Chain A
Amino acid sequence: MTDHSDIDSVSGRSTTGHEWDGIKELNTPLPRWWVISFYLTIIWAIGYWIVYPAWPLISSNTTGLFGYSSRADVAVELANLEKVRGDKMAVLGAAPLADIEKDPALLALARAKGKTVFGDNCAPCHGSGAAGAKGYPNLNDDDWLWGGTLDQIMQTIQYGARSGHAKTHEGQMLAFGKDSVLKPDEIVTVANYVRSLSGLSTRKGYDAAKGEKIFAENCVACHGDGGKGNPELGAPNLTDRIWLYGSDEATLIETITQGRAGVMPAWEGRLDPATIKAMAVYVHSLGGGK
């Protein structure tokens, strides 16, 4: 060990004996209170280990002296929140569906609640903003398979479509090709006819009269005269510009050949009635409701 009794000639104070490039470090000790505070924080940390859950064990962890858990705290806070919101949701649950949109406070509550619940339950299929996707309807537009009034929307949310619920919407697009009802060339013809219904271009030389005849014999039952659709059966309007699966010839041939039967789950029993109501109002207020 080197000799440390080295005194700085300018300040007259001892140095630590450390030297860098000719510069020596003065020995300037920390204040006592500072050092004591430092030790206290160490003691405090040890106390923390004992009082709070801290040490990981193989399949769990030490629970701490008071069994504190932040998860339990969250549960308590959520219960409190439910208590606070309970009254307001009760008012919403009791209000007639048609009047909710006319009351700014109720509308705001329904939209706020509906938006959250939509994000948790509906967004996986319909998208976070309800923009939909191929096979999953866009809820912002004005084309509704099962009807777009408040009551109809609520009914669809409650019971779903082809969900297996006793009151669910039933009806499906038959597989005309797979079940050998129509021949492949007939399918091509009727697909072009359907495109013509909404003013889309058709294949050169296709037989429009034949297409109309096939449509009248096979499709009118559900899609109605002129293909205007039928919300009772969930049969889409074929004359407008919105297509759930796509309007190009190949997609239409696929639809007619294979049929379509998208499923919307029933939410009755999974969400409470007031929440379903809030969701119906939220979806209706997105802008597509009739």
Chain B
Amino acid sequence: MNKTVNPNELTSDDDYGPLYAARKKVYPQSVSGTFRRIKWGLMAFCLGVYYFLPFVRWNRGLGAPSQAVLIDLPNSRFYFFFIELWPQEVYYFTGLLIIAAVALFLMNSIGGRIWCGYLCPQTVWTDLFYAVERLIEGDRRERMKKDKSSDPMKLERISEIVLKHSIWLLIAWWTGGAWVLYFNDAPTLVKELVTFQAPMIAYIWIGMLTATTYVLAGYMREQVCTYMCPWPRIQAALTDEWALNVTYRYDRGEKRTSVKKAAELRALGEQVGDCVDCYQCVAVCPTGIDIRNGPQLECIQCGLCIDACDNVMTKIGRPTRLIGYDNDINIHRRQEGKPPIYRIVRPRTVVYSAIIAAVGGIMLYTLATRSLLDVNVLHDRNPIAVKLSDGSIRNAYTVRLLNKSGYDRVIAIDAQGPVNSTIHVIGVDSVTPERPMIVVPRDSTSELRLLVTAPAESNPEKSIPVRFHVTDIGLGEVASTTDNFVSP
């Protein structure tokens, strides 16, 4: 990207160097081909999911949210289709993060920065913004000419610019708008938004994401990848010699010369490459690099240069994939006359896949077997034990009952502690004296104070375990946990 400086051109000012370098604007040319089609497809899929997922409905019964994917912050609930997560189950997100990270490693060890080139939001939105720009202002040459033109602004040009920025802002605004829909019932919020009844925080978030989308995808573009994103630096440590990266196969590319000259030289039996130095790979590159200089930090591995080069190779009747997903090992093998080998199954990829499978398996298992009734117990710390007037010992506990189901449940509480001990639940056994029972409303928790008293003659010398059972009277579902009974 940086211009090479001829020593003779340096002035004395340059001796100390400029403080900053102006961005060299990139004008990617449109291209068609396999990788472009993959990119269109993935873009449509990603944007489709992002923009429309909040409108997907899921019936959870009366009184429960009917949005398939909902992050309900005020009530601390996360809904994902048939799954409802509580704050206590935040470890599922840890699992998802582990899977996401390892999946990124796996992608990286198989095909380099596939994430950067095809799936990263920065790439997807920048690609979309480029498509809009191309549609309105024309392709590479036209855009370059229009930017360079010193003609006074014509009405046509002004309207073009206004139209482009309007569409950009519209996309950016919808991006922010879709974001807030994940945090509230989408149709309701849309109605509130258009009638200006929505909470201020929604407008603030829409404003922020509109601004970031517009600036990052419209102006920052490839600079986000080269200056702001840490991933290019990290991926260098994760990749290995077998990873398939977008590679210029210099073994069949050099030396570069025109089609005509190449034919003449070949006729003379001289070494000449397939590369005709047409600069198509550079023209289509969204980060403005020359892939023929080898792997480099700015390359996001989007594969558009492969499409561009393939088109040229097809036209001049040479084999395609002068640029392709490959690695240095195979280039050397070909140079030595050996066939290339591709190793997708390697210890590295096997380990990554195994980690993904294991974490995913554990998550699925716990999700399938998780209980909708739960009990947490916290022992009083001050005092840890109380001596009563008749010499008996009492310990107090805070018991929290969790009813994660969609209906109210009658829960009976029971505790097995020291011999002949009795339990007393404040406020509850005055209502149901025989066996403490409480109604825990649907999708909520109830906190109780429970006392366990051991008579003087059975005073335990040391700490002994107490087992707390809670039973759903209707369904018989049981949850239990253990704490300790201690003496002063």
Across the interface, B383 reaches (CB within 8 A) one of A28, A30, A131, namely: A131
Contacts of A104 in B (CB 8 A): 427-428, 438, 446
Cβ B17 vs Cβ A102 within 8 A: no
The 6 tightest CB contacts between A and B, nearest first, are A129-B382, A240-B389, A131-B383, A4-B15, A27-B17, A35-B20
The reply to whether the CB of B430 lies closer than 8 angstroms to some CB of chain A is yes
Contacts of B381 in A (CB 8 A): 129
Determine the distance from Cα of A288 to Cα of B453 in the docked complex, in whole angstroms: 12
The reply to whether the CB of A89 lies closer than 8 angstroms to some CB of chain B is no
Residue from A140, A143, A241 having most chain B Cβ neighbours under 10 A: A140
Q: A29-B17, A31-B227, A32-B20 are in contact. Are A129 and B5 (CB under 8 A)?
A: no
Across the interface, B387 reaches (CB within 8 A) one of A111, A128, A241, A287, namely: A241
Complex A-B: 15 CB contacts under 8 Å: A5-B7, A7-B7, A12-B7, A14-B17, A29-B19, A31-B21, A33-B223, A35-B19, A107-B427, A129-B381, A130-B383, A131-B386, A141-B387, A240-B389, A287-B396
Chain B interface residues toward A at CB < 8 A: 2, 4-7, 10, 12, 14-23, 220, 223, 227, 380-383, 386-391, 394, 396, 424, 426-428, 430-431, 438, 446-447, 449, 451
The reply to whether the CB of A257 lies closer than 8 angstroms to some CB of chain B is no
Contacts of B390 in A (CB 8 A): 240-241
Determine the distance from Cα of A5 to Cα of B449 in the docked complex, in whole angstroms: 80
Contacts of A31 in B (CB 8 A): 20-23, 223, 227
Cβ A287 vs Cβ B451 within 8 A: yes
Cβ B427 vs Cβ A101 within 8 A: yes
Distance from A265 Cβ to chain B, minimum over Cβ atoms (Å): 22
Q: What is the total of A-B residue contacts with beta carbons within 8 Å?
A: 118
The reply to whether the CB of A248 lies closer than 8 angstroms to some CB of chain B is no
Cβ B6 vs Cβ A140 within 8 A: no
- Cβ-closest chain A residue relative to B21: A29
Cβ A12 vs Cβ B396 within 8 A: no
Distance from B14 Cβ to chain A, minimum over Cβ atoms (Å): 6
The reply to whether the CB of A138 lies closer than 8 angstroms to some CB of chain B is yes
The reply to whether the CB of A242 lies closer than 8 angstroms to some CB of chain B is yes
Contacts of A108 in B (CB 8 A): 447
Cβ A285 vs Cβ B383 within 8 A: no
In the complex, which range does the number of interface residues on chain A fall in?
35 or more
Cβ A33 vs Cβ B23 within 8 A: yes
Across the interface, A30 reaches (CB within 8 A) one of B14, B21, B380, B394, namely: B21
Cβ B396 vs Cβ A286 within 8 A: yes
Cβ A16 vs Cβ B17 within 8 A: yes
The reply to whether the CB of A237 lies closer than 8 angstroms to some CB of chain B is yes
Cβ B5 vs Cβ A287 within 8 A: no
Determine the distance from Cα of A111 to Cα of B426 in the docked complex, in whole angstroms: 11
Distance from A131 Cβ to chain B, minimum over Cβ atoms (Å): 4
Determine the distance from Cα of A33 to Cα of B221 in the docked complex, in whole angstroms: 13
Contacts of B428 in A (CB 8 A): 104
The reply to whether the CB of A82 lies closer than 8 angstroms to some CB of chain B is no
Distance from B488 Cβ to chain A, minimum over Cβ atoms (Å): 10
Determine the distance from Cα of A256 to Cα of B6 in the docked complex, in whole angstroms: 104
Determine the distance from Cα of A242 to Cα of B391 in the docked complex, in whole angstroms: 8
Determine the distance from Cα of A68 to Cα of B471 in the docked complex, in whole angstroms: 54
Contacts of A286 in B (CB 8 A): 396, 449
Cβ A287 vs Cβ B19 within 8 A: no
Determine the distance from Cα of A135 to Cα of B40 in the docked complex, in whole angstroms: 80
Determine the distance from Cα of A241 to Cα of B391 in the docked complex, in whole angstroms: 6
Distance from B290 Cβ to chain A, minimum over Cβ atoms (Å): 14
Q: A4-B16, A16-B17 are in contact. Are A142 and B388 (CB under 8 A)?
A: yes
Cβ A241 vs Cβ B383 within 8 A: no
Determine the distance from Cα of A27 to Cα of B20 in the docked complex, in whole angstroms: 10
Determine the distance from Cα of A11 to Cα of B5 in the docked complex, in whole angstroms: 9
Cβ B389 vs Cβ A141 within 8 A: yes
Cβ A141 vs Cβ B386 within 8 A: yes
Q: A31-B23, A101-B427, A131-B383 are in contact. Are A237 and B17 (CB under 8 A)?
A: no
The reply to whether the CB of A24 lies closer than 8 angstroms to some CB of chain B is no
- Cβ-closest chain A residue relative to B220: A33
Cβ A140 vs Cβ B396 within 8 A: yes
A15-49 with Cβ < 8 A to chain B: 16-17, 27-35
Distance from A100 Cβ to chain B, minimum over Cβ atoms (Å): 9
Contacts of B427 in A (CB 8 A): 101-102, 104, 107, 285
Cβ A131 vs Cβ B382 within 8 A: yes
Contacts of A33 in B (CB 8 A): 23, 220, 223
Across the interface, A129 reaches (CB within 8 A) one of B18, B23, B380, B394, namely: B380
- Cβ-closest chain B residue relative to A131: B383
A142-B389, A287-B396 are known contacts; what are 13 more A-B pairs with Cβ within 8 Å? A7-B5, A13-B4, A17-B15, A27-B17, A31-B223, A31-B227, A33-B223, A107-B427, A129-B380, A141-B386, A240-B389, A287-B386, A287-B424
- Cβ-closest chain B residue relative to A112: B447
- Cβ-closest chain B residue relative to A241: B391
The reply to whether the CB of A127 lies closer than 8 angstroms to some CB of chain B is yes
Determine the distance from Cα of A255 to Cα of B22 in the docked complex, in whole angstroms: 88
Contacts of B386 in A (CB 8 A): 131, 138, 140-141, 287-288
Indicate with 1 or 0, residue by residue over A87-129, a CB within 8 angstroms of chain B CB atoms: 0000000000000011010011001000000000000000111
Cβ B430 vs Cβ A101 within 8 A: yes
Determine the distance from Cα of A240 to Cα of B14 in the docked complex, in whole angstroms: 95
Cβ A5 vs Cβ B10 within 8 A: yes
Contacts of A101 in B (CB 8 A): 426-427, 430
Determine the distance from Cα of A32 to Cα of B20 in the docked complex, in whole angstroms: 5
Distance from A286 Cβ to chain B, minimum over Cβ atoms (Å): 7
Determine the distance from Cα of A138 to Cα of B394 in the docked complex, in whole angstroms: 13
Q: A28-B2, A127-B382, A241-B391 are in contact. Are A5 and B15 (CB under 8 A)?
A: yes
Across the interface, A14 reaches (CB within 8 A) one of B10, B396, B424, B447, namely: B10
Contacts of A11 in B (CB 8 A): 4
Determine the distance from Cα of A5 to Cα of B8 in the docked complex, in whole angstroms: 10
